Structure 1
Amino acid sequence: MSSTNTTSYLEPTQEAGRQFMQRDFAGPVVMLNLLRFRDVADYSSHPELAPAMPISGAQAYERYIEHTLPFLRASGGEILFLGEAGHFLIGPADERWDLVMLVRQASAGAFLSFVSDTGYLAGLGHRSAAVEDSRLLPLSELPFSAAMADTARL
């Protein structure tokens, strides 16, 4: 965790939700997820999901993904990338992330339908138990021209 920032971000705010809706995405939405896990999962808010023995935050997040995948796929979504993270090459030296994930949804509407599905919500406690801090950045794809491709090689 950053020594200058002790705030954890686990849920969207009303203002962030309003801004997301105002973006008026045209086409697919890709969600960039940065996740930092608890050493030991905290199921105190969701005891009904707690395993018999303590598990790590990473293990709890694996349970969250297993629970979530059928609902994600049913909504037309997919995980594009799942990778181990660490410290930034460019960014705050004292900030690290355990996992990076890119999730694509067909549209903002499909994303909202997915995150409001009662079946999906029933397993959301695994995520809460697992995650110490997170970031979620909605992205929309831009056309990639040949000129941009040349610039991207810099």
Structure 2
Amino acid sequence: MTGYIDPERAQFDAFKGLERDKPLNMLNLVALRDKANYAGDHDLARDGLSGAEAYALYGRHSAPVLARVGGSIIWRGQFDLTLIGPADEAWDVMFIAAYPNAHAFLAMVSDPEYQQAVKHRQAAVKTSRLIRSQSLPLTDGFA
């Protein structure tokens, strides 16, 4: 599994180029490292935390920022099996975060408190997918 931890510049620029005033959802799929990999100068670098412990710290420290920008977790799930798709992609954490708009998401990721919290995510994550989406009206069909 290739490690995708942070957005690449082109992807982040594309995100910023999309409509910013509508509500959006972010699907998060996360595979964790067995052992957290903090930068050598981080206070927790030698504590031997697991990826799950480091990700829990990320959640605890980023949750107030998420709430402050008006975001919330609207769905959490437990991964069972990939029926269609790469068999080697298994996810330890799956959730959907809702934001009132892209401005709120951008405010969150630029917040100094979040920027400290994200260091725990970077140490914890082996690979991830972060997929922006918009809600559509529910219908009787799939389209």
What TM-score comes out, normalization by structure 2 length? 0.90
Q: Name the residue aligned to 1:112.
A: 106
Question: In 1, Cα distance between the equivalents of 2:27 and 2:65?
Answer: 18
Q: Name the residue aligned to 2:89.
A: 95
Question: In 2, Cα distance between the equivalents of 1:138 and 1:37?
Answer: 21
1:43 aligns to 2:29 (yes or no)? no
Q: RMSD across aligned C-alpha pairs, in angstroms? A: 1.7
Q: Would the alpha carbon gap of residues 51 and 10 (structure 1) be closer, same or farther in structure 2, given more than 3 Å must change?
A: closer
**Shift of residue 83, structure 1, vs aligned partner:** 2.4
**Shift of residue 46, structure 1, vs aligned partner:** 5.5
Query: 2:132 aligned to 131, 134, 138, which one?
Result: 138
1:31 aligns to 2:23 (yes or no)? no
**Shift of residue 88, structure 1, vs aligned partner:** 0.8
Question: In 2, Cα distance between the equivalents of 1:74 and 1:56?
Answer: 28
SS of the residue corresponding to residue 53 of structure 2 reads: helix
Aligned partners of 2:29 and 2:130 also within 8 Å: yes
Q: Name the residue aligned to 1:125.
A: 119
Alignment length (residue pairs): 142
Q: Structure 1 stretches of 5 or more lacking a match?
A: 2-6
| 1:34 counterpart letter in structure 2 | L
Deviations 1:31-82 (A, max 9, x none): 001100000111135512x176312101110110000111110110101122
1:83 aligns to 2:77 (yes or no)? yes
Aligned partners of 2:20 and 2:103 also within 8 Å: no
Q: Would the alpha carbon gap of residues 45 and 143 (structure 1) be closer, same or farther in structure 2, given more than 3 Å must change?
A: farther
Q: Would the alpha carbon gap of residues 18 and 53 (structure 1) be closer, same or farther in structure 2, given more than 3 Å must change?
A: closer
Once structures 1 and 2 are overlaid, which stretch shifts more, 24-33 or 62-71? 24-33
What TM-score comes out, normalization by structure 1 length? 0.84
Larger Rg: 1
In percent, how many aligned pairs have the same letter? 38
Question: In 2, Cα distance between the equivalents of 1:44 and 1:15?
Answer: 25
Aligned partners of 2:79 and 2:94 also within 8 Å: yes
1:14 aligns to 2:1 (yes or no)? no
Aligned partners of 2:39 and 2:45 also within 8 Å: no
